[in-house]
Structure 1
Amino acid sequence: MTESPEHLALRDSAAAFFSTGGDWKRLTGELGLTALAIGEEHGGFGATLVEAGIVLEEAGAALLRSPLLATTVAALSLDPALPASAALLPALASGDLIGAVALDGTCTARPSPDGFLLDGSFEHVLDATDAGVVIVSDGTCLFAVDDPDIRPQPTLDQTRTQGTLVLWQAPGRLVSRDAAPAHDLLHAALAAESVGVARASLDLTVAHLRTRQQFGVPLATFQALRHRVADLVVQLEQARSSVWHAVRAHGTDSFATAAPLAKLHAADAAWHVTRASIQLLGGIGFTWEHDAHRYLKRATTTRLLAGDPVALRRLLLARSGL
């Protein structure tokens, strides 16, 4: 997929910045990455999900620890026409407010004099421990919950936090009357990130095969290893194509199928590539000091988030009318 010069410049800038660690204040203030896809009238740059996807791919490649993905999805899930959403967007754009989304759980909402009261619980909420606001779904609408009650949740992936959100008569503000697009946005965001994870893991592996020698020649000269890498490249390119299709379909009817399909392909590709990388790297791939295990852990957890492969296939069948 050919990228425009502007997209290439954005990718290079994001990659260079994330290689330095991705400090949140610099990420939000210097680069304004949380404002990227938010409308200009709400303090953003008015870009699209395509540009956000490029940044999230580079964030995945760097195993970014900052809550960029969760805040991006939270902001894009809001309906700007609603007063509560309009009040939240400038703070999310500036990075002064960190957002998270809780979409897969149990929640009931009942009206109150000041908005709504929410009861329920959600597990495996990404970056919830850092969030000042969580966008919660009751299956129909989305509500903003300030100062959420978050219980840290241990996970396989040490590069990103997860938490359990507990709601007990928690005050909530209506921010969207349609919860479905938020799920699709999360699928697309995780898919874009997964492409970055797979690409970075494969790059590390190829670099090793080109430099590590056996019998006096680089490992990359052995045909069996070349064939394995070629298969991984094919999986990665298929995943990248599905992600580009999804982010470009945002705002159209096809996004409802393109987003979960991209998540299915990209998360699976990242899982297969990172598993194979552990083996192709040989003994060094099993060490704690090498990054290979970190990419594998990120890919493994992402594959199970927001719907595992079986759940996504069922969703796609249902939305396709089959």
Structure 2
Amino acid sequence: MREVTRAHLATLAPATTDERVLDPAAPLDRAAWRSLATGLGLPGVRVPEDLGGAGLDRTAELVVHEELGRALYDGPLLGTLQVAAALLELTDDPVNRQRLRAIAGGELVAVPAMPVEETFPLLYPDAERTGDRIVLTGSLPCVVDAQVADALLVLAEHEGFHAYFWVRTDDPGVRVLPLPTLDLTRRMASVVLTRAVGELVAEQDRARAAVAAVRQGTALALAAECVGVADRCLEMTVEHLKVRRQFGREIGSFQALKHRCADLLVELETARSALAIAVRAVETNDLRGRRPESLAGLAVARTRCGRAAFHIARETVHLHGGTGYTWEHPAHLYLRRATSDQALLDSTGQQARLLATSVLATLHAEATA
């Protein structure tokens, strides 16, 4: 999976920095998107085979996300895979099964419109029943890839509970506003819903399982992407140090630079370990994704992977010398992606507090058992 994904993404990678930089309002290359579906099956990597997907496990999906980070992939796979994860919790509905088929076949692009974190008070859109339909009103300040999505999976307040709604982006009540951001290789947009028609997908207990699938899946996906970014940055740095000559020798032979690269490798492998621990934690989580041990594992991955990607990408710029500061070299694009991912993983800086709270809760449960 890793080899074929990396090889295919290499064929899609732009040759120059100018070509890599996205226009936030540019449409999605649907032909390239369908090639990911029909050639590799990436949009449906975890969708069961009887629904047209590859039927692989979470580990395979995270390998894909790691390779997406290495390649600075600019398509909507991050969100679409998490919508698929939510719909997999709701396959008793034939409509959701049909949506999964469309996602796996590359015919449907859908992204979740909800915060990844719960560590601060959140305002969700309001869902109101009007006659025989439900309309949603509210603002979603930052939705990844919203401008190229066919549909949004919106978490909203409905009759005193959280519920998931399927909202088509071509609805007259949906306004998508592309955002200029630090990351030049990923689309982001704010979404304004003004009595947009939504189809109820899940509520109460069914919605909780789907929400947990999206939140946990997005955190793991971003952490894996950070590992991919860090891995590629360290690889580029070592390649540069092997060929750059100064004082009559390759600078990679200097002990100080060897030690810096060794430290970066330790940081990268620590991030990989944190991601592996988080995967095991999620696999043993409860329906709502609230087991303290699982929350602790996710908090470690969010913190360690985001921090490692940012630090290694920053060191890549420094260790490339003057070349690393140029627009033409991709180092700054990796630093931008790492900075963006770190913010998405821990936008409020509360993961350390969540980790401490989860560990204390686990110790308390063990002491009183």
Normalised TM-score (structure 2): 0.79
- Percent identity reads 38
- The more displaced of 227-236 and 256-265 is 256-265
Q: Which residue of 2 aligns with 1:146?
A: 168
Alignment of 1:162-201 (within 5 A): 162-176=188-202, 177-178=207-208, 179-201=211-233
Q: Distance in 1 between matches of 2:262 and 2:133?
A: 55
Q: Which residue of 1 aligns with 2:318?
A: 279
Retained in 2: the 8 A contact 1:129–1:151?
yes
Q: Which residue of 2 aligns with 1:93?
A: 104
Alignment of 1:188-227 (within 5 A): 188-227=220-259
Code of the aligned partner of 1:149: R
- The more displaced of 51-60 and 108-117 is 108-117
- Displacement of 1:211 in angstroms is 0.8
Structure 1 SS opposite 2:252: helix
Code of the aligned partner of 1:15: R
Alignment of 1:10-159 (within 5 A): 10-21=1-12, 23-78=32-87, 79-104=90-115, 106-114=124-132, 116-138=134-156, 140-147=162-169, 148-159=174-185
- Displacement of 1:316 in angstroms is 3.3
Q: Does 1:297 align with 2:329?
A: no
Code of the aligned partner of 2:165: F
Retained in 1: the 8 A contact 2:46–2:54?
yes
Q: Distance in 1 between matches of 2:140 and 2:236?
A: 36
Once the two structures are superposed, what CA deviation does each residue of 1:42-101 show, in whole Å capped at 9, x if it has no partner?
A: 322221111010011011100011211111111112222345433321111111111111
Cα distance, 1:82–1:108 mapped onto 2, change above 3 Å: farther
- Displacement of 1:136 in angstroms is 1.5
Once the two structures are superposed, what CA deviation does each residue of 1:31-50 show, in whole Å capped at 9, x if it has no partner?
A: 11111111234322221111
- Any unmatched runs of 5+ in structure 1? 1-9
Code of the aligned partner of 1:81: D
Retained in 2: the 8 A contact 1:74–1:101?
yes
Once the two structures are superposed, what CA deviation does each residue of 1:297-319 show, in whole Å capped at 9, x if it has no partner?
A: 00011111153261322333444
Retained in 2: the 8 A contact 1:184–1:256?
no
Tell which structure's C-alpha radius of gyration is larger: 2
Retained in 1: the 8 A contact 2:147–2:188?
yes
Cα distance, 1:106–1:318 mapped onto 2, change above 3 Å: farther
Q: Which residue of 2 aligns with 1:3?
A: none
- Displacement of 1:320 in angstroms is 4.3
RMSD: 2.0
Structure 2 SS opposite 1:35: coil
Q: Distance in 1 between matches of 2:91 and 2:281?
A: 20
- Any unmatched runs of 5+ in structure 2? 14-31, 116-122, 286-292, 362-369
Structure 2 SS opposite 1:33: coil
Q: How many pairs does the alignment contain?
A: 313
Q: Distance in 2 between matches of 1:32 and 1:150?
A: 28
